Structure 1
Amino acid sequence: MSSIYQHFRPEEKQFIDTVLDWKEQVENTYASKLTDFLDPRQQFILQSIIGDGVDVRCGFFGGRAQSERKRALLYPEYFQPEEKDFLVGLYEIEYPRKFMKLEHPMVLGSLMSLGVRRDKFGDILVNEDRIQFFSNEEIESFLMTELREIGRASVHLRRIPFEEAIQEPEQWRELEISAASLRLDAIISAAFNLSRQKSQALIAQKLVKLNWKTVENPAAECMEGDLISARRLGRCKIIELLGYTKKSKSRLKIGLLK
Protein backbone atom coordinates (compact mmCIF):
# COMPACT_ATOMS: atom_id res chain seq x y z
CA MET A 1 0.00 0.00 0.00
CA SER A 2 2.80 2.43 0.89
CA SER A 3 4.15 2.02 -2.64
CA ILE A 4 1.12 3.94 -3.93
CA TYR A 5 1.72 6.97 -1.72
CA GLN A 6 5.36 7.41 -2.73
CA HIS A 7 4.31 8.49 -6.22
CA PHE A 8 2.25 11.41 -4.94
CA ARG A 9 2.51 14.37 -2.57
CA PRO A 10 2.07 13.79 1.17
CA GLU A 11 -0.90 16.19 1.23
CA GLU A 12 -2.65 14.05 -1.40
CA LYS A 13 -2.81 11.00 0.89
CA GLN A 14 -6.37 11.73 2.01
CA PHE A 15 -7.66 11.87 -1.56
CA ILE A 16 -5.74 8.68 -2.44
CA ASP A 17 -7.40 6.91 0.49
CA THR A 18 -10.78 8.13 -0.74
CA VAL A 19 -10.10 6.75 -4.24
CA LEU A 20 -9.07 3.41 -2.74
CA ASP A 21 -12.32 3.35 -0.75
CA TRP A 22 -14.33 4.07 -3.93
CA LYS A 23 -12.49 1.27 -5.74
CA GLU A 24 -13.16 -1.20 -2.93
CA GLN A 25 -16.82 -0.16 -2.84
CA VAL A 26 -17.26 -0.92 -6.55
CA GLU A 27 -15.43 -4.24 -6.19
CA ASN A 28 -17.59 -5.30 -3.24
CA THR A 29 -20.99 -4.11 -4.46
CA TYR A 30 -20.44 -4.60 -8.19
CA ALA A 31 -22.21 -1.27 -8.62
CA SER A 32 -20.99 2.07 -10.02
CA LYS A 33 -19.70 4.97 -7.93
CA LEU A 34 -20.16 8.56 -9.18
CA THR A 35 -17.91 11.30 -7.76
CA ASP A 36 -18.38 15.04 -7.58
CA PHE A 37 -16.35 17.28 -9.91
CA LEU A 38 -12.61 16.66 -9.77
CA ASP A 39 -9.85 19.01 -10.85
CA PRO A 40 -7.27 17.77 -13.41
CA ARG A 41 -4.78 16.69 -10.73
CA GLN A 42 -7.42 14.66 -8.91
CA GLN A 43 -8.46 13.09 -12.21
CA PHE A 44 -4.83 12.15 -12.85
CA ILE A 45 -4.50 10.55 -9.40
CA LEU A 46 -7.72 8.58 -9.81
CA GLN A 47 -6.73 7.40 -13.30
CA SER A 48 -3.29 6.39 -12.02
CA ILE A 49 -4.76 4.28 -9.21
CA ILE A 50 -7.54 2.65 -11.22
CA GLY A 51 -5.41 2.30 -14.35
CA ASP A 52 -6.64 -0.18 -16.93
CA GLY A 53 -8.08 -2.44 -14.28
CA VAL A 54 -10.17 -5.46 -15.12
CA ASP A 55 -12.58 -5.41 -12.18
CA VAL A 56 -12.95 -1.62 -11.83
CA ARG A 57 -12.74 0.95 -14.61
CA CYS A 58 -13.29 4.70 -14.68
CA GLY A 59 -14.54 7.38 -17.04
CA PHE A 60 -14.71 11.17 -16.86
CA PHE A 61 -17.23 13.73 -18.09
CA GLY A 62 -17.62 17.43 -17.35
CA GLY A 63 -20.17 18.51 -19.92
CA ARG A 64 -17.89 18.79 -22.96
CA ALA A 65 -14.68 17.28 -24.24
CA GLN A 66 -12.47 20.20 -23.18
CA SER A 67 -13.94 20.57 -19.69
CA GLU A 68 -11.30 21.10 -17.04
CA ARG A 69 -13.34 19.92 -14.07
CA LYS A 70 -15.06 16.56 -14.55
CA ARG A 71 -17.07 14.03 -12.62
CA ALA A 72 -15.64 10.52 -12.49
CA LEU A 73 -17.58 7.30 -12.71
CA LEU A 74 -16.00 4.13 -11.32
CA TYR A 75 -17.79 1.08 -12.63
CA PRO A 76 -17.53 -2.73 -12.91
CA GLU A 77 -16.32 -4.21 -16.18
CA TYR A 78 -19.80 -5.24 -17.38
CA PHE A 79 -21.12 -1.65 -17.33
CA GLN A 80 -21.11 0.60 -20.41
CA PRO A 81 -21.32 4.23 -19.21
CA GLU A 82 -23.12 6.96 -21.16
CA GLU A 83 -23.11 10.75 -20.71
CA LYS A 84 -26.40 10.67 -18.83
CA ASP A 85 -24.87 8.42 -16.16
CA PHE A 86 -22.61 11.29 -15.01
CA LEU A 87 -25.60 13.43 -13.93
CA VAL A 88 -24.10 16.69 -15.21
CA GLY A 89 -26.33 19.66 -16.00
CA LEU A 90 -25.56 22.83 -17.98
CA TYR A 91 -27.19 26.03 -16.78
CA GLU A 92 -27.34 29.50 -18.32
CA ILE A 93 -27.70 32.52 -16.05
CA GLU A 94 -30.36 34.94 -17.22
CA TYR A 95 -29.93 38.51 -15.97
CA PRO A 96 -30.47 42.12 -17.20
CA ARG A 97 -27.47 42.20 -19.57
CA LYS A 98 -28.16 45.77 -20.75
CA PHE A 99 -27.47 47.25 -17.35
CA MET A 100 -24.63 45.21 -15.90
CA LYS A 101 -22.05 42.55 -16.60
CA LEU A 102 -21.43 39.44 -14.53
CA GLU A 103 -17.97 37.89 -14.29
CA HIS A 104 -16.56 34.51 -13.33
CA PRO A 105 -15.55 35.40 -9.71
CA MET A 106 -18.97 36.92 -9.01
CA VAL A 107 -20.75 33.78 -10.18
CA LEU A 108 -18.49 31.41 -8.25
CA GLY A 109 -18.79 33.56 -5.12
CA SER A 110 -22.59 33.56 -5.29
CA LEU A 111 -22.73 29.79 -5.83
CA MET A 112 -20.44 29.19 -2.87
CA SER A 113 -22.44 31.57 -0.69
CA LEU A 114 -25.38 29.17 -0.99
CA GLY A 115 -23.44 26.80 1.23
CA VAL A 116 -22.64 24.33 -1.56
CA ARG A 117 -19.10 22.97 -1.89
CA ARG A 118 -16.92 23.86 -4.88
CA ASP A 119 -16.80 20.24 -6.02
CA LYS A 120 -20.52 20.37 -6.82
CA PHE A 121 -19.75 22.71 -9.74
CA GLY A 122 -17.81 22.19 -12.93
CA ASP A 123 -16.43 24.77 -15.34
CA ILE A 124 -17.90 28.26 -15.51
CA LEU A 125 -18.10 29.50 -19.11
CA VAL A 126 -18.03 33.20 -19.99
CA ASN A 127 -18.42 34.85 -23.38
CA GLU A 128 -19.03 38.61 -23.29
CA ASP A 129 -22.41 38.98 -21.56
CA ARG A 130 -23.30 35.27 -21.46
CA ILE A 131 -22.48 33.04 -18.51
CA GLN A 132 -23.07 29.32 -18.08
CA PHE A 133 -21.88 26.69 -15.63
CA PHE A 134 -21.93 22.94 -15.21
CA SER A 135 -23.21 21.45 -11.98
CA ASN A 136 -24.29 18.23 -10.30
CA GLU A 137 -27.75 17.37 -11.57
CA GLU A 138 -28.66 16.26 -8.04
CA ILE A 139 -28.76 19.86 -6.75
CA GLU A 140 -30.62 21.34 -9.73
CA SER A 141 -33.89 22.04 -7.89
CA PHE A 142 -31.96 23.69 -5.03
CA LEU A 143 -30.06 25.96 -7.41
CA MET A 144 -33.20 26.88 -9.34
CA THR A 145 -34.89 27.91 -6.10
CA GLU A 146 -32.03 29.53 -4.19
CA LEU A 147 -29.86 31.29 -6.78
CA ARG A 148 -31.80 34.52 -7.20
CA GLU A 149 -29.10 37.16 -7.05
CA ILE A 150 -25.52 37.66 -8.18
CA GLY A 151 -23.99 40.94 -7.07
CA ARG A 152 -26.75 43.48 -7.58
CA ALA A 153 -28.37 41.56 -10.40
CA SER A 154 -31.53 39.52 -10.09
CA VAL A 155 -30.99 36.24 -11.90
CA HIS A 156 -32.69 33.00 -12.76
CA LEU A 157 -31.33 29.77 -14.17
CA ARG A 158 -32.28 28.02 -17.36
CA ARG A 159 -31.13 24.48 -18.05
CA ILE A 160 -29.88 24.07 -21.60
CA PRO A 161 -28.55 21.14 -23.67
CA PHE A 162 -24.79 20.56 -23.92
CA GLU A 163 -24.91 21.53 -27.60
CA GLU A 164 -25.60 25.12 -26.51
CA ALA A 165 -22.48 25.37 -24.35
CA ILE A 166 -20.38 28.46 -24.99
CA GLN A 167 -17.51 27.53 -27.26
CA GLU A 168 -14.48 29.34 -25.96
CA PRO A 169 -11.96 30.23 -28.69
CA GLU A 170 -9.05 29.47 -26.35
CA GLN A 171 -7.26 26.23 -27.04
CA TRP A 172 -4.40 24.52 -25.30
CA ARG A 173 -1.22 24.38 -27.33
CA GLU A 174 0.85 21.25 -26.70
CA LEU A 175 4.63 21.43 -26.81
CA GLU A 176 7.72 19.79 -25.37
CA ILE A 177 10.06 21.76 -23.13
CA SER A 178 13.16 21.10 -21.08
CA ALA A 179 13.51 22.58 -17.59
CA ALA A 180 16.44 22.73 -15.19
CA SER A 181 14.40 20.67 -12.73
CA LEU A 182 10.81 19.95 -11.72
CA ARG A 183 10.81 22.85 -9.25
CA LEU A 184 7.91 25.24 -9.70
CA ASP A 185 10.13 28.21 -10.57
CA ALA A 186 12.03 26.15 -13.15
CA ILE A 187 8.83 24.97 -14.85
CA ILE A 188 7.43 28.52 -14.99
CA SER A 189 10.69 29.79 -16.47
CA ALA A 190 10.72 27.12 -19.17
CA ALA A 191 7.02 27.28 -19.99
CA PHE A 192 6.70 31.06 -20.19
CA ASN A 193 10.28 31.85 -21.28
CA LEU A 194 11.19 33.83 -18.17
CA SER A 195 14.35 34.15 -16.15
CA ARG A 196 14.49 32.15 -12.93
CA GLN A 197 14.63 35.41 -11.00
CA LYS A 198 11.38 36.67 -12.55
CA SER A 199 9.66 33.34 -11.88
CA GLN A 200 10.69 33.48 -8.25
CA ALA A 201 9.46 37.08 -7.99
CA LEU A 202 6.02 36.06 -9.32
CA ILE A 203 5.82 33.31 -6.71
CA ALA A 204 6.94 35.66 -3.93
CA GLN A 205 4.22 38.14 -4.97
CA LYS A 206 1.59 35.39 -4.62
CA LEU A 207 0.75 35.55 -8.33
CA VAL A 208 1.20 31.82 -8.96
CA LYS A 209 -1.21 28.99 -8.23
CA LEU A 210 -0.49 25.27 -8.34
CA ASN A 211 -3.65 23.23 -8.76
CA TRP A 212 -5.77 26.27 -7.83
CA LYS A 213 -3.87 26.98 -4.61
CA THR A 214 -1.52 29.92 -4.14
CA VAL A 215 2.02 28.63 -3.61
CA GLU A 216 4.82 30.67 -2.07
CA ASN A 217 7.56 28.04 -2.24
CA PRO A 218 9.57 28.27 -5.50
CA ALA A 219 11.08 24.85 -4.75
CA ALA A 220 7.69 23.10 -4.73
CA GLU A 221 8.08 20.02 -6.92
CA CYS A 222 5.74 19.71 -9.90
CA MET A 223 4.23 16.43 -11.03
CA GLU A 224 2.37 14.96 -13.96
CA GLY A 225 -1.21 16.23 -14.04
CA ASP A 226 -0.40 19.53 -12.29
CA LEU A 227 -1.94 22.77 -13.48
CA ILE A 228 0.03 25.99 -12.95
CA SER A 229 -1.44 29.45 -13.41
CA ALA A 230 0.62 32.64 -13.37
CA ARG A 231 -1.26 35.91 -13.36
CA ARG A 232 -0.87 37.89 -16.60
CA LEU A 233 1.04 35.02 -18.22
CA GLY A 234 -1.53 32.25 -18.57
CA ARG A 235 -1.81 28.63 -17.58
CA CYS A 236 0.34 25.57 -18.04
CA LYS A 237 -0.56 21.93 -17.44
CA ILE A 238 1.95 19.13 -17.23
CA ILE A 239 0.71 16.42 -19.56
CA GLU A 240 3.60 13.96 -19.35
CA LEU A 241 7.09 13.62 -17.92
CA LEU A 242 9.36 12.47 -20.75
CA GLY A 243 12.60 11.75 -18.91
CA TYR A 244 15.85 13.68 -19.14
CA THR A 245 18.04 15.33 -21.75
CA LYS A 246 21.73 14.47 -22.19
CA LYS A 247 22.47 17.46 -19.97
CA SER A 248 20.21 16.03 -17.24
CA LYS A 249 17.42 18.53 -17.74
CA SER A 250 13.83 17.40 -17.27
CA ARG A 251 11.86 16.87 -20.47
CA LEU A 252 8.12 17.49 -20.31
CA LYS A 253 5.09 17.60 -22.55
CA ILE A 254 2.95 20.55 -21.49
CA GLY A 255 -0.22 22.29 -22.54
CA LEU A 256 -0.04 26.07 -22.69
CA LEU A 257 -2.89 28.54 -22.55
CA LYS A 258 -1.94 32.21 -22.76
Structure 2
Amino acid sequence: MDKNKLSNVEEKICLAYKANMVVYSNEFYTPDECNEIKIISNKRAINFYSYGVFNEAERKMLAFAPEEEELFYPLQLIKIKANTKFINLEHRDFLGSIMALGIKREKLGDLILKDDCCYLPVASDLVDFIMYNLKHIGKSPCKISLLDVTDDEIPQYSFEEKLIITSSIRLDAIVCGLCNMSRGKSIQYIEMGNILVDYAVVDKKDYRVKIDSIITVRGYGKYKIENIIGYTQKDRIKIQIKKFI
Protein backbone atom coordinates (compact mmCIF):
# COMPACT_ATOMS: atom_id res chain seq x y z
CA MET A 1 0.00 0.00 0.00
CA ASP A 2 1.35 3.45 -0.84
CA LYS A 3 2.33 5.86 1.94
CA ASN A 4 -0.58 8.28 1.43
CA LYS A 5 -3.16 5.50 1.66
CA LEU A 6 -1.48 4.02 4.70
CA SER A 7 -1.29 7.38 6.46
CA ASN A 8 -4.97 8.05 5.77
CA VAL A 9 -5.98 4.69 7.20
CA GLU A 10 -3.83 5.12 10.31
CA GLU A 11 -5.45 8.51 10.98
CA LYS A 12 -8.91 6.94 10.82
CA ILE A 13 -7.91 4.11 13.17
CA CYS A 14 -6.44 6.62 15.65
CA LEU A 15 -9.60 8.73 15.47
CA ALA A 16 -11.80 5.70 16.15
CA TYR A 17 -9.61 4.86 19.16
CA LYS A 18 -9.34 8.36 20.66
CA ALA A 19 -12.93 9.48 20.03
CA ASN A 20 -14.44 6.07 20.82
CA MET A 21 -16.57 6.25 17.67
CA VAL A 22 -17.13 4.52 14.33
CA VAL A 23 -14.96 5.89 11.53
CA TYR A 24 -15.41 4.92 7.90
CA SER A 25 -13.12 4.96 4.92
CA ASN A 26 -14.36 6.84 1.89
CA GLU A 27 -12.60 4.53 -0.52
CA PHE A 28 -12.66 0.86 -1.45
CA TYR A 29 -9.70 -1.39 -0.70
CA THR A 30 -8.43 -4.55 -2.36
CA PRO A 31 -7.97 -7.86 -0.44
CA ASP A 32 -4.22 -7.44 0.04
CA GLU A 33 -4.73 -3.90 1.35
CA CYS A 34 -7.49 -5.09 3.71
CA ASN A 35 -5.19 -7.74 5.16
CA GLU A 36 -2.51 -5.14 5.86
CA ILE A 37 -5.01 -2.71 7.37
CA LYS A 38 -6.55 -5.39 9.59
CA ILE A 39 -3.16 -6.04 11.20
CA ILE A 40 -2.76 -2.34 11.97
CA SER A 41 -6.28 -2.14 13.37
CA ASN A 42 -5.74 -5.17 15.63
CA LYS A 43 -2.61 -3.58 17.09
CA ARG A 44 -4.74 -0.60 18.12
CA ALA A 45 -7.43 -2.87 19.59
CA ILE A 46 -9.95 -1.44 17.14
CA ASN A 47 -12.46 -3.68 15.39
CA PHE A 48 -12.06 -3.87 11.64
CA TYR A 49 -15.07 -4.30 9.32
CA SER A 50 -15.43 -4.29 5.55
CA TYR A 51 -18.34 -4.25 3.11
CA GLY A 52 -18.58 -4.42 -0.67
CA VAL A 53 -22.35 -5.00 -1.20
CA PHE A 54 -21.92 -8.21 -3.23
CA ASN A 55 -21.22 -11.64 -1.82
CA GLU A 56 -17.53 -12.40 -2.43
CA ALA A 57 -16.89 -8.75 -3.23
CA GLU A 58 -13.20 -7.98 -3.47
CA ARG A 59 -13.04 -4.20 -3.27
CA LYS A 60 -14.57 -3.14 0.04
CA MET A 61 -15.23 -0.02 2.07
CA LEU A 62 -13.91 -0.14 5.63
CA ALA A 63 -15.14 0.72 9.11
CA PHE A 64 -13.20 1.00 12.36
CA ALA A 65 -15.07 0.79 15.65
CA PRO A 66 -14.17 0.27 19.34
CA GLU A 67 -17.21 -1.98 19.79
CA GLU A 68 -19.62 -3.89 17.60
CA GLU A 69 -22.56 -1.79 16.46
CA GLU A 70 -24.81 -1.20 13.47
CA LEU A 71 -22.83 0.17 10.55
CA PHE A 72 -23.91 2.55 7.77
CA TYR A 73 -21.21 2.69 5.14
CA PRO A 74 -21.00 5.87 3.00
CA LEU A 75 -21.70 4.13 -0.28
CA GLN A 76 -24.57 3.64 -2.69
CA LEU A 77 -25.27 1.06 -5.37
CA ILE A 78 -25.91 2.39 -8.85
CA LYS A 79 -27.33 0.56 -11.85
CA ILE A 80 -26.14 1.67 -15.29
CA LYS A 81 -28.33 0.57 -18.18
CA ALA A 82 -26.65 0.89 -21.57
CA ASN A 83 -28.88 1.36 -24.60
CA THR A 84 -27.19 -0.96 -27.06
CA LYS A 85 -28.33 -3.90 -29.14
CA PHE A 86 -25.33 -4.62 -31.32
CA ILE A 87 -22.32 -4.12 -29.04
CA ASN A 88 -21.34 -6.41 -26.17
CA LEU A 89 -20.07 -4.01 -23.52
CA GLU A 90 -17.47 -5.31 -21.07
CA HIS A 91 -16.26 -4.31 -17.62
CA ARG A 92 -13.55 -2.13 -19.11
CA ASP A 93 -16.11 -0.17 -21.15
CA PHE A 94 -18.11 0.80 -18.06
CA LEU A 95 -15.07 1.36 -15.86
CA GLY A 96 -13.26 3.36 -18.55
CA SER A 97 -16.25 5.65 -19.14
CA ILE A 98 -16.61 6.37 -15.42
CA MET A 99 -12.92 6.96 -14.82
CA ALA A 100 -12.83 9.27 -17.87
CA LEU A 101 -14.89 11.66 -15.71
CA GLY A 102 -11.80 12.06 -13.52
CA ILE A 103 -12.87 9.57 -10.86
CA LYS A 104 -10.19 7.46 -9.18
CA ARG A 105 -10.53 3.67 -9.14
CA GLU A 106 -10.48 3.50 -5.32
CA LYS A 107 -13.78 5.41 -5.20
CA LEU A 108 -15.50 2.50 -6.95
CA GLY A 109 -16.26 -1.03 -5.78
CA ASP A 110 -16.59 -4.19 -7.85
CA LEU A 111 -18.51 -4.16 -11.12
CA ILE A 112 -21.05 -6.86 -11.93
CA LEU A 113 -22.57 -7.02 -15.42
CA LYS A 114 -25.99 -8.59 -15.99
CA ASP A 115 -28.16 -8.20 -19.10
CA ASP A 116 -26.40 -5.09 -20.45
CA CYS A 117 -26.56 -3.47 -17.02
CA CYS A 118 -23.66 -2.64 -14.75
CA TYR A 119 -24.11 -2.73 -10.97
CA LEU A 120 -21.52 -0.72 -9.10
CA PRO A 121 -21.05 0.40 -5.46
CA VAL A 122 -19.84 4.00 -5.38
CA ALA A 123 -18.63 6.30 -2.60
CA SER A 124 -21.67 8.40 -1.63
CA ASP A 125 -19.98 11.75 -2.26
CA LEU A 126 -19.62 10.94 -5.97
CA VAL A 127 -23.05 9.52 -6.76
CA ASP A 128 -24.68 12.82 -7.81
CA PHE A 129 -21.67 13.73 -9.93
CA ILE A 130 -21.80 10.41 -11.78
CA MET A 131 -25.55 10.51 -12.29
CA TYR A 132 -25.34 14.03 -13.71
CA ASN A 133 -22.27 13.60 -15.92
CA LEU A 134 -22.23 9.99 -17.13
CA LYS A 135 -24.26 10.03 -20.35
CA HIS A 136 -22.59 7.33 -22.46
CA ILE A 137 -20.76 4.04 -22.09
CA GLY A 138 -18.45 4.17 -25.07
CA LYS A 139 -20.78 5.43 -27.77
CA SER A 140 -23.91 3.94 -26.22
CA PRO A 141 -26.32 6.20 -24.30
CA CYS A 142 -27.01 5.08 -20.74
CA LYS A 143 -29.39 5.64 -17.86
CA ILE A 144 -28.46 5.48 -14.19
CA SER A 145 -30.64 4.56 -11.24
CA LEU A 146 -30.06 4.04 -7.52
CA LEU A 147 -30.78 0.71 -5.84
CA ASP A 148 -31.59 0.08 -2.19
CA VAL A 149 -29.04 -2.46 -0.96
CA THR A 150 -31.48 -3.64 1.74
CA ASP A 151 -34.63 -4.03 -0.38
CA ASP A 152 -33.80 -4.37 -4.06
CA GLU A 153 -32.64 -7.61 -5.63
CA ILE A 154 -28.87 -7.42 -5.76
CA PRO A 155 -27.02 -9.41 -8.43
CA GLN A 156 -24.14 -11.62 -7.41
CA TYR A 157 -21.01 -12.92 -9.07
CA SER A 158 -21.22 -15.88 -11.39
CA PHE A 159 -18.33 -18.31 -11.51
CA GLU A 160 -17.16 -21.09 -13.75
CA GLU A 161 -15.52 -23.76 -11.62
CA LYS A 162 -12.77 -25.78 -13.21
CA LEU A 163 -9.80 -27.99 -12.42
CA ILE A 164 -6.32 -27.32 -13.73
CA ILE A 165 -3.33 -29.65 -13.60
CA THR A 166 0.07 -28.05 -13.36
CA SER A 167 3.66 -29.00 -12.66
CA SER A 168 4.13 -26.49 -9.82
CA ILE A 169 2.63 -23.48 -8.04
CA ARG A 170 5.02 -21.10 -9.78
CA LEU A 171 3.21 -18.25 -11.49
CA ASP A 172 4.31 -19.23 -14.99
CA ALA A 173 2.96 -22.76 -14.51
CA ILE A 174 -0.31 -21.53 -13.02
CA VAL A 175 -0.88 -19.09 -15.90
CA CYS A 176 -0.27 -21.94 -18.37
CA GLY A 177 -3.02 -23.96 -16.70
CA LEU A 178 -5.48 -21.08 -16.33
CA CYS A 179 -5.23 -19.85 -19.90
CA ASN A 180 -4.18 -23.00 -21.74
CA MET A 181 -1.13 -21.27 -23.15
CA SER A 182 2.46 -22.41 -23.66
CA ARG A 183 5.09 -21.93 -20.96
CA GLY A 184 6.97 -19.53 -23.20
CA LYS A 185 3.90 -17.36 -23.78
CA SER A 186 3.03 -17.33 -20.08
CA ILE A 187 6.56 -16.14 -19.22
CA GLN A 188 6.29 -13.45 -21.88
CA TYR A 189 2.94 -12.30 -20.41
CA ILE A 190 4.42 -12.18 -16.93
CA GLU A 191 7.50 -10.23 -17.98
CA MET A 192 5.34 -7.72 -19.90
CA GLY A 193 3.39 -6.93 -16.71
CA ASN A 194 0.15 -8.51 -17.91
CA ILE A 195 -0.38 -10.61 -14.77
CA LEU A 196 -1.77 -9.28 -11.51
CA VAL A 197 -1.81 -11.25 -8.27
CA ASP A 198 -4.21 -9.79 -5.71
CA TYR A 199 -4.39 -6.64 -7.88
CA ALA A 200 -0.66 -5.98 -7.94
CA VAL A 201 1.49 -6.59 -11.02
CA VAL A 202 3.88 -9.52 -10.56
CA ASP A 203 6.61 -9.85 -13.19
CA LYS A 204 8.58 -12.72 -11.67
CA LYS A 205 7.92 -16.07 -13.34
CA ASP A 206 8.98 -18.04 -10.24
CA TYR A 207 6.57 -16.22 -7.89
CA ARG A 208 4.87 -18.82 -5.65
CA VAL A 209 1.08 -18.57 -5.87
CA LYS A 210 -0.91 -19.00 -2.66
CA ILE A 211 -4.36 -20.43 -2.02
CA ASP A 212 -7.13 -17.75 -2.18
CA SER A 213 -5.03 -15.56 -4.46
CA ILE A 214 -6.85 -13.62 -7.18
CA ILE A 215 -5.01 -13.81 -10.49
CA THR A 216 -5.90 -11.44 -13.32
CA VAL A 217 -4.57 -12.24 -16.78
CA ARG A 218 -5.11 -9.29 -19.07
CA GLY A 219 -7.09 -10.36 -22.11
CA TYR A 220 -8.07 -13.70 -20.54
CA GLY A 221 -9.96 -13.00 -17.31
CA LYS A 222 -9.83 -13.14 -13.54
CA TYR A 223 -9.42 -16.30 -11.46
CA LYS A 224 -9.47 -17.32 -7.82
CA ILE A 225 -7.19 -20.13 -6.65
CA GLU A 226 -9.51 -22.20 -4.47
CA ASN A 227 -7.64 -25.27 -3.28
CA ILE A 228 -5.11 -27.98 -4.02
CA ILE A 229 -7.18 -31.15 -4.20
CA GLY A 230 -4.53 -33.75 -4.94
CA TYR A 231 -1.85 -35.03 -7.28
CA THR A 232 -1.71 -37.12 -10.42
CA GLN A 233 0.29 -40.35 -10.70
CA LYS A 234 3.09 -38.25 -12.21
CA ASP A 235 3.02 -35.86 -9.21
CA ARG A 236 1.41 -32.99 -11.11
CA ILE A 237 -0.75 -30.76 -8.95
CA LYS A 238 -4.55 -30.67 -9.21
CA ILE A 239 -5.85 -27.19 -8.39
CA GLN A 240 -9.49 -26.15 -8.09
CA ILE A 241 -10.13 -22.64 -9.40
CA LYS A 242 -13.02 -20.27 -10.00
CA LYS A 243 -13.18 -18.05 -13.05
CA PHE A 244 -15.19 -14.85 -12.70
CA ILE A 245 -17.76 -14.58 -15.51
TM-score range relative to shorter protein: 0.7 to 0.9
- The match for 1:7 is none
RMSD: 3.8
**What are the equivalent positions in structure 2 for 1:67-106 lying under 5 Å apart?**
67-77=57-67, 79-82=68-71, 85-98=72-85, 100-106=87-93
Query: Following the alignment from structure 1 to structure 2, what is the Cα–Cα distance between the partners of residues 111 and 100?
Result: 18
Q: Any gaps of 5 or more consecutive residues in structure 2? A: 228-236
Query: Following the alignment from structure 2 to structure 1, what is the Cα–Cα distance between the partners of residues 75 and 28?
Result: 9
**Structure 2 contact 213–224 (Cα < 8 Å) conserved:** yes
**What are the equivalent positions in structure 2 for 1:35-184 lying under 5 Å apart?**
35=25, 36-51=27-42, 55-77=45-67, 79-82=68-71, 85-98=72-85, 100-162=87-149, 163-170=152-159, 184=171
Structure 2 counterpart of 1:70, one-letter code: K
- Number of matched residues? 234
Superimposed CA distance per residue, residues 105-150 of structure 1 (whole angstroms, 9 cap, x where no aligned partner) = 1111111111111111111111242222111122211111111222
Query: Following the alignment from structure 1 to structure 2, what is the Cα–Cα distance between the partners of residues 146 and 76?
Result: 39
Superimposed CA distance per residue, residues 13-38 of structure 1 (whole angstroms, 9 cap, x where no aligned partner) = 62444433332221122222211111
- Alignment of 1:227 with 2:217, yes or no, is no
SS, match of residue 111 in structure 2: strand
Structure 2 counterpart of 1:256, one-letter code: K
Query: Following the alignment from structure 1 to structure 2, what is the Cα–Cα distance between the partners of residues 74 and 171?
Result: 34
Query: Following the alignment from structure 1 to structure 2, what is the Cα–Cα distance between the partners of residues 122 and 172?
Result: 23
Q: Taking structure 1 as the reference length, what is the TM-score of the superposition?
A: 0.71
Percent identity, please.
Answer: 24
Larger mean Cα displacement after TM superposition, 18-27 or 36-45 = 18-27
Query: Following the alignment from structure 1 to structure 2, what is the Cα–Cα distance between the partners of residues 232 and 255?
Result: 18
Q: Any gaps of 5 or more consecutive residues in structure 1? A: 1-11, 241-250
- Alignment of 1:25 with 2:12, yes or no, is no
Larger mean Cα displacement after TM superposition, 16-25 or 34-43 = 16-25
**Structure 1 contact 179–190 (Cα < 8 Å) conserved:** no
Q: Taking structure 2 as the reference length, what is the TM-score of the superposition?
A: 0.75
Superimposed CA distance per residue, residues 77-99 of structure 1 (whole angstroms, 9 cap, x where no aligned partner) = 2x4033xx112211111332335
**Structure 1 contact 236–254 (Cα < 8 Å) conserved:** no
Distance 1:25 1:226, change over 3 A: farther
